[in-house]
Every structure is written in structure tokens, then in C-alpha cells.
Structure 1
Amino acid sequence: MPAVLAASLEKTIKPKFKIFQDMGFSAEDIAEIISNDPENLHRSADSRLRPSLLVLKRLLGSSAEVTKVLKISGWYLSRDLEKSVVPNVEYLKSCGVGMEQIIKNMYKFPRFLVYSPKNMISSVKIVDEMGTCRSSRLFIHAVQVVGSMSNETWELKLRHFRNLGFLEDDILKMFQKAPRVFSASQTKISKVVEVLLATGKYDLSSIVNSPVSFTCSVEKKIIPRMQVLGILESKNWIGKWPSLSTITKIADSKFVEKFVHPYLYEVGEVYMANSALNIKKYEN
């Protein structure tokens, strides 16, 4: 922002730094916050910066925590937080969500709390209709996922699951178990279903019971593992394929230890060529 060089040091620049200093921010933190979003030097000190910083400090408890948020999302200081973040936090608390969970989501999904309060209420209504219990630790994640989409996008996502053969109860069950999978693109969802059904070992009910499959990399995780298991079965080295839940949740190191390393010369090259894991470190 080269326009900063033309700004008045005494009237524009120093007052902004003083606000941060007066609220306990270190010189290093101030430098990083402003470097991340130089617009802060042109925002009104009294009508925007100070009120926003006070709201954040009240919610988060300390300048250190405020700094963590602003390093991720400096644009928090561009919003009227009293009209977005504050009512959203209070509404989520009224739904039974604890402040600790709210703050964690603020770090991971910073735009979540600046949704319009109307959008937040609408998202909670949809999540309630999907059957997610408000006392569940997944409730806030479900609200964030729904709120990140327009109503039209949400409906298209649901229709896509239906078109792939999932029943309404299947969709509800997957959403309740793993709401974040609904953030996956339609292309990704279709590819996961295609690859898993093509094995002949898993069906739609398997996916419903293990919806986390939709969060896995098709190319680097699902396909290499399916290939390895296919080879092992063709040579009668496994009697039964592991459940889809095992396949999608087991760590790379554990998968290699159980299904690759004992048959390294037969499947090692296939797995190493296609997966994200370098299995050479497992060779003796």
C-alpha cells in the first residue's frame, strides 16, 4: 500500500499504533498485524479500530489471543463486530455451544462468526432439521458448514447425494456423523463413490457408515489402498477386505505395516508410486 507513504505520520499513522500499544500489543505483534492488513492504517481509529479491538479482547480474553486471530484474519478490524460477531456468539451460546468451542472455530474458520446474524439463525434451523443434536460437539461444525454455502448451493449438494443413490435417511446419517464432508465438492463426492463402488467390496451403505471417506484424497489414499488390497486378494494373501472405516481412518504408517511391508516386493512399488507416502523408510 504505497499510499501509506503520503499519509500524515502524526495524524494518521501514530494514532493507530498508539491504540494497539495502549491495549498491550507488542511492537512485533503490531508490525505483523499491520503488515498482514495495511488497510488498518487508513481505518478510523475511534469508529472502527478501537471498538473492534475491544470486542475481540472482551471475547478472547487477552491481547495475545487477539493477535493470534488478527494474524490469521486482519479483516476482523474492518467489520462492525457489535453487529455480527457479538450477536452470533450470543446466539451460539444460547444454543448450548461453549465459548471454548466458539473460539476454536474462530481460529480455524475465521469468517464463520462474521456471517450475518440472519444467516447464522437460518443455518442453525437447517442443522436442527438435519437432526444434529445441539449438545453434540459436532453441532457448531455443522452450523459452520451450512453457513458457508448459499441456500441454493446447499440444496444442490443435497440433490447431488440423492442423484448418486443415497436415500434421505442416508444423507441425514452422514451429516450427523461427519458434517464437514458436505464441504467436499460435487466432483470429489462423485469420484469417491465411483472408486469405492468399482471395487465390488463396498456399497453405498458402507459409505454411509464411513462418510469420512469423502474427506480422503482419491488419488493419494483411496486408489493406492484399493490397488494394494486388490493385489493381495488376487494372490489369496488376505481372506477378507477390511471395513471401509478401517481403510479410511487407519494411518499411512499402520496401513504400510499391515498390508504393504509384509508383501513389499509384490505391492510396494504400486503403493509407493501412487500414494503420498514414501515407504522407503520402512524397508529394512
Structure 2
Amino acid sequence: MSIHIRRGLIYLFPQNSSFLCKSRVFLSTSRGKQPPSTPTVSECLMQKYNIHPKAASRFASALTSLKNPKKSSLILSFLKESGFSASQMEKMLKSWPELLSVDLEKVVKPKIKIFQEFGFSANDIVDIISKEPSVLHSSANNRFIPSLTVLRGLLGSRAEVAKFLKISGWYLKSDLDSSLVPNIKLLHSCGIPMEKINWLMRYFPRFILQNPKTMKKLVEKADRLGANRSSKMFIHAVLIVSSLSNETLELKKKTFRDLGFSEDDILRVFRTQPQLFATSEEKIKKVKEVVLATGKYDLSCIVNNPTAVTRSIEKRYKPRFQVLEILEGKNLITNWPGFPTLFKMTDKNFFEKFVRPYSDEVGEVYMAKCGLSGKRRV
């Protein structure tokens, strides 16, 4: 077993003559002599590839169990020569340890060459692969090349494709022709411009790769709920229905009804501000309780200003309500601002109008409520 491990180390450290000498001495030394110490696998990883000690220890067992340690050594050496840093190789091995057992000539080098032929810089290639190393195992003809071709056609330039793949490199493992392309055609037919579709790819990359049949059902569901295809909010409506089950959607609608929203009001909200359906039922109920507890505003205030349910209770409503209560109690103000003004007003404007002029009375209270530790929130 020890001879097998040393052979593996020779492959990992082929040019380390001192190590080879130590190995020979060990094999020829009489039993009576204490053999010189030899580097462990983890020591070789640290010395030759600058792998962090903890990471080297984790990968050592994998290396010693490989049938062909030379293959692993060649892969690591090639990556190092190609510009991959020690920390990048660590991350790659951590996320995809199978990298040590792939074929350098048949798997790794061909993918690097494809990237180069598409015009990617050495730095781009390193960044993309280090963040998603398993793309190296994708089929060159069935996944890699077709995906790069599709992305270049959609995003317009090599620079934009590189920027995208540094975040979503796993796209190179997907069949874009049977998922992304038909989904884009469907969304584009709904009036969604390519600019917005590119935005979807960047910020919701998995959403746009789902089964085209599922995407069609989501579009139809958004239609049934009253979303307008000609509106720029239509894509947000589709995103929302994709994230909510039918049961959850009904709970949202019930919560809005409890606030006093009519069916038409609910449809209007979904049509014009679908993101509000992403607000939890608990948050909506708490906003209702806090607003009504003031005795100054009623449910119609929320119904007429539905985005009010998205504002922070602890950082917006409670600090402002307490300040206004104190000012009113000391006869420093006679009327509270209208509800739309109150919840839409920036922190800076609220501070300048209701806190700074009465800093002795409410300054500390406002700061404490906002958690500002003496610093004005703007």
C-alpha cells in the first residue's frame, strides 16, 4: 500500500529529485535504520500546487485512492499552467472532485480550445470554469458548442456572454435549443422585449430554462388573473405565478379581501403591481394591525395604496408613528400627514420635517427606533 501511495506521489511531484531520492533510500534501507520521512499526499499538494493545508488534507484521500494518480497530476499541472490559482483549484475540487479523474486530452483541453475559438480571453476562461468546473464534462457537440452559439446570438457579444457565464456557467450543461429558445420565442410573442428577456436570463436564469410546456401554462395563468400582455408588468406577473402554488395564491387573495380589497381591486393589484403578491400573508396582516392601531388611518388607506404593505414595519412605520404620537401629545403638531405622504416619504424628508425641528423631544426616540446609534438615517 505504501509503495502504491509513493508511486502516486512520484506522479504528483515528478521533478522533485529530493523526494525521489528519499523514496529510493527508503526502499533500499535496511530494517535496522530509521527511514527518512517522505512527503505525504497533502504535503505534495501544498508544496507543488499551493493548496491550502485543510483543503489538501481533504483531497489527499481522493488522490491516493485513484487508480491513475498520474492523470490527476497532469490535470492539476495543466490548470496551474493555464492560469488557475491555488484557491480556484481548491474551489473546483471542492465542488467537483471528479475533476481529478477526467481525461485531460479528451475532456479538459478540448473545452479550453472551444472557449478560445469563441474568442474568450484566458482570464474569462479561468473565471468561468473555476466557478462551474463540471461544465468541462459537458458534451462538446451536444451541449458546449450549441449553448455558446445560442448565448452569443442572444447576448450579442463575446464580452456579454463571458459576463453571463461567470454567473451562470451551468447554462453550458443545458440543452438551450429545447428549453431557452422556445421559452424566449413564447415570451417575445407575448410582447416582452428582448431587453427584458436578457434581464430575465441574468436575474432569473433558472426560471427561463424550465420546461416550455410549464412556461406556457404560467403565461396562460397570468392571463386568467388579469395580467395585461401589453404592460411592462406582464413578465413580473408570470414570475409571481411561477413562484406561487394555487393554494398559496388563494391565501394571498383571501388576505387582501380581509383588508377590504374587492375582487376588482385584487385584479387591479395583480395587473399593475404583481410583486405585491410576493409579500407574505403575515407581513400584510402586521402592516394592517400597526396602521389601524394609530387610530388615524383606516383600511381604505391601504386599499388605495397597496404598496404600503411592502414597507418595513420596524424601520418605517413604528418609528414614524411614535414620533408623530409624541409630537401630537406635546401639541407640537395638530394633524398627522396623509397616509400616502407618510409611507412614501423618504427617511431624509421625514427626518427634516418631523425630527430635526423637534430633536430634543423626539430625536433620541427616532434614532433608537431606527437603530441608527446616533447617526441620521437618510
State the TM-score, normalizing by the size of structure 1.
Answer: 0.88
| Residues in 1 aligned to 2:351 and 2:207: alpha-carbon distance in whole angstroms | 38
Match of 1:69 among 159, 164, 179: 164
* Worse-matched range after superposition: 243-252 or 216-225: 243-252
Q: Is the 8 A contact 2:367 2:376 kept in 1?
A: no
Aligned residues: 282
Per-residue CA deviations over 1:34-70 (Å, capped at 9, x if unaligned) read 2222221222222122222221221111122223322
Alignment-derived partner of residue 37 in structure 2: none
* 165 and 254 in structure 1: CA distance in 2 versus 1, 3 angstrom threshold: same
Cα shift at 1:253: 1.8
| Residues in 1 aligned to 2:127 and 2:359: alpha-carbon distance in whole angstroms | 49
* 79 and 60 in structure 1: CA distance in 2 versus 1, 3 angstrom threshold: same
Q: Is the 8 A contact 2:317 2:343 kept in 1?
A: yes
Indicate the RMSD between aligned Cα atoms, in angstroms. 2.3
Identity %: 56
Matched, 1:125 2:203: no
* Larger-Rg structure: 2
Q: Is the 8 A contact 1:252 1:277 kept in 2?
A: no
* 190 and 32 in structure 1: CA distance in 2 versus 1, 3 angstrom threshold: farther
Q: Is the 8 A contact 1:231 1:267 kept in 2?
A: yes
Q: Is the 8 A contact 1:37 1:74 kept in 2?
A: yes
Match of 1:56 among 146, 151, 154: 151
The alignment partner of 2:337 has SS state of coil
Matched, 1:241 2:330: no
* Worse-matched range after superposition: 68-77 or 21-30: 68-77
Q: Is the 8 A contact 1:112 1:148 kept in 2?
A: no
Matched, 1:193 2:268: no
Aligned residue runs from structure 1 range 149-188, under 5 A: 149-188=244-283
* 194 and 110 in structure 1: CA distance in 2 versus 1, 3 angstrom threshold: farther
Q: Is the 8 A contact 2:269 2:306 kept in 1?
A: yes
Alignment-derived partner of residue 147 in structure 1: 242
| Residues in 2 aligned to 1:171 and 1:268: alpha-carbon distance in whole angstroms | 39
Alignment-derived partner of residue 101 in structure 1: 196
Q: Is the 8 A contact 2:183 2:212 kept in 1?
A: yes
Per-residue CA deviations over 1:159-186 (Å, capped at 9, x if unaligned) read 3333454332222222233211211222
Whichever residue aligns with residue 229 of structure 1, its letter is L
Cα shift at 1:7: 2.0
Match of 1:135 among 219, 230, 250: 230
The alignment partner of 1:97 has SS state of coil
Match of 1:10 among 94, 102, 105: 105
| Residues in 1 aligned to 2:124 and 2:297: alpha-carbon distance in whole angstroms | 51
Detail structure 1 runs of 4+ shifted over 6 Å in the superposition: none
Matched, 1:47 2:132: no
| Residues in 1 aligned to 2:191 and 2:115: alpha-carbon distance in whole angstroms | 33
* 239 and 102 in structure 1: CA distance in 2 versus 1, 3 angstrom threshold: farther
Whichever residue aligns with residue 221 of structure 2, its letter is I
Aligned residue runs from structure 1 range 193-232, under 5 A: 193-232=288-327
* 152 and 78 in structure 1: CA distance in 2 versus 1, 3 angstrom threshold: farther
Matched, 1:116 2:214: no
Q: Is the 8 A contact 1:212 1:248 kept in 2?
A: no
Whichever residue aligns with residue 336 of structure 2, its letter is W
Cα shift at 1:251: 2.2
Match of 1:20 among 97, 112, 115: 115
Q: Which runs of 5+ in 1 are unaligned?
A: none
The alignment partner of 1:88 has SS state of helix
State the TM-score, normalizing by the size of structure 2.
Answer: 0.68
* 232 and 114 in structure 1: CA distance in 2 versus 1, 3 angstrom threshold: farther
* 240 and 107 in structure 1: CA distance in 2 versus 1, 3 angstrom threshold: farther
Alignment-derived partner of residue 132 in structure 2: 37
Q: Is the 8 A contact 1:161 1:171 kept in 2?
A: yes
| Residues in 2 aligned to 1:269 and 1:263: alpha-carbon distance in whole angstroms | 10
Alignment-derived partner of residue 274 in structure 1: 369
